């Protein structure tokens, strides 16, 4: 799985929990600060260091950190388009198209397509979709 994991929220946690339920070893691609400069409300995005620390702290609360490798993502697709050994990818509905593109690239390279597990978007008590962008938007107002 990969993403910004900014302002770690219940949707992120569910994604990670699902990944750990399906895999003995989980690779989390954490988007670099440089890659996020053009993202909406970029000035409100937590630094790479803070986002990584938040991920590590959460993972430590639910499992051994040895089951998870956090790598820096400097492009939208990460290692699965370069390394054939990946077996699956867990995405939200919002990032499903990216997983399809990864499989397209893998197929062109002769790699086996990834199993794609899609997690539904979570909603808060007001029935609004929980997202880092919405959190940053609130911080911006």
pLDDT tens for each residue of 6-21 = 999 999 999 999 999 9
Domain count of the fold of the chain: 1
Residue 141 has pLDDT above 70, yes or no: no
For residue 84, the domain's CATH number is 3.40.50.620
pTM over 0.75: yes
Domain span including residue 10: 2-140
Q: What's the CA gap between 141 and 113, in Å, rounded?
A: 42
Q: Is the predicted pLDDT of residue 124 greater than 90, yes or no?
A: no
> Regarding beta strands 68-73 and 26-31, do their DSSP bridges make them parallel or antiparallel, or are they unpaired?
parallel
Average pLDDT over residues 31-41: 86
Helix axes 48-62, 10-22, angle to 10 degrees: 60
- Three-state secondary-structure class, residue 80: helix
pLDDT of residue 140: 67
- pLDDT given for residue 101 in this prediction: 97
Average pLDDT value over all residues in the chain: 91
């Amino acid at each position: 799985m990969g993403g910004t994991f900014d302002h770690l929220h219940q949707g992120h946690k569910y994604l990670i929990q699902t990944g750990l339920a399906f895999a003995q070893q989980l690779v989390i691609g954490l988007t670099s600060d440089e890659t996020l400069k053009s993202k909406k409300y970029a000035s409100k995005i937590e630094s790479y260091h803070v986002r990584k620390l938040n991920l590590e702290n959460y993972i430590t609360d639910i499992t051994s950190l040895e089951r998870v490798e956090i790598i820096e993502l400097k492009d939208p697709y990460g290692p699965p388009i370069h390394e054939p050994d990946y077996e699956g990818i867990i995405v939200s509905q919002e990032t499903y198209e990216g997983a399809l593109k990864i499989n397209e690239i893998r197929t062109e390279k002769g790699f086996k397509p990834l199993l794609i597990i899609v997690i539904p978007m979570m909603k808060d008590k007001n029935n609004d979709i929980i997202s880092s962008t919405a959190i940053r938007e609130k911080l911006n107002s």
